[in-house]
Amino acid sequence: MRIGTGYDSHVFEDGRRLVLGGVEIPDCPGLKAHSDGDVLAHAVIDALFGAAALGDIGGHFPDSSPQWKGADSMRLLRAAAAEVAAAGYSIGNVDATVVCERPRLAPYREDIRKSLADAMGIDVGRVSVKGKTNERMDDVGAGLGIAVHAAVLLD
C-alpha cells in the first residue's frame, strides 16, 4: 500500500464560475487560475501522483502550457488516475477536506463525491469529501479563497 497527500489553494476572482470536484456551485465567485481553478480536483491529483511517486500536477500539466489554459480539471484527474493505473496501482480510497468560509459544501457534497469517483473510475464509497471553515483565522478564514487537503491510498 502507498499513501499520498495533496494540497492546493486558490484565491477567489469575480466573474469566474466556481467548480469543485467537477461540480459547478452557484452564488459564489470562482477561483483565479490558469485552468478552471478546481482546487479540489488539483489536491486529489497531487495526492494520486504523490502516492505513486510520479511527481506533481505542475510537472504533468504545466500552467505555462496553452494546452491546459481553462482546462477542465476533471480531464486532468482522469489522466492522473490513468497514469497511476498504468504504474500498476489501484485506488483504495480518497479523503479530502475543503477549507473555506464560503460556499457551504453540504448541499453539493454527494454530487462532488460522485463526480470525483466517476473521474477516477472507482466506487463512490471510496471517496470522502469534508467541508470545514477556518474559524475566520488567516486569509482563508477571511474569505479570500479556498484551500484543500487530500489523502489517497493506493493498493
Q: Which residues of this chain interact with Mg ion, rule CB under 5 A?
A: 8, 42
For Mg ion, give the closer residue by CB, 56 or 155.
Answer: 56
Q: Are strands 30-31 and 18-20 parallel, antiparallel or unpaired?
A: unpaired
The distance of closest approach from Cβ of residue 130 to Mg ion in the complex, given in angstroms and rounded to an integer, is 19
CB-nearer residue toward Mg ion: 64 or 106: 64
Tell me how far, at minimum, the Cβ of 8 lies from Mg ion, in Å: 4
The interaxial angle of helices 109-120 and 39-51, nearest 10 deg, is: 40
- Closest CB 28 distance from Mg ion, rounded Å: 17
Q: Which is nearer to Mg ion, 42 or 126 (CB)?
A: 42
Instruction: Name the minimum Å distance from CB 93 to Mg ion.
Output: 22
Would you state the cell numbers that stand for residue 106, as one nine-digit string? 453540504
Give the integer Cα–Cα distance in Å for 66 and 24.
23
> Which residue, 10 or 113, is less far from Mg ion as judged by CB?
10
CB nearer to Mg ion: pick between 29 and 92: 29
Provide the minimum distance between the beta carbon of 139 and Mg ion in the complex, in angstroms, as a whole number. Answer: 16
Q: Which residues pair with 13 in a beta bridge?
A: 30
Angle (CA) 105-44-61 rounded to 5° is 125
What amino acid is encoded at 110 in this protein? E
Rounded Cα gap, residues 148 and 107, in angstroms: 18
Greatest C-alpha distance within the chain? 42
Q: What residue is closest to Mg ion based on CB? A: 42
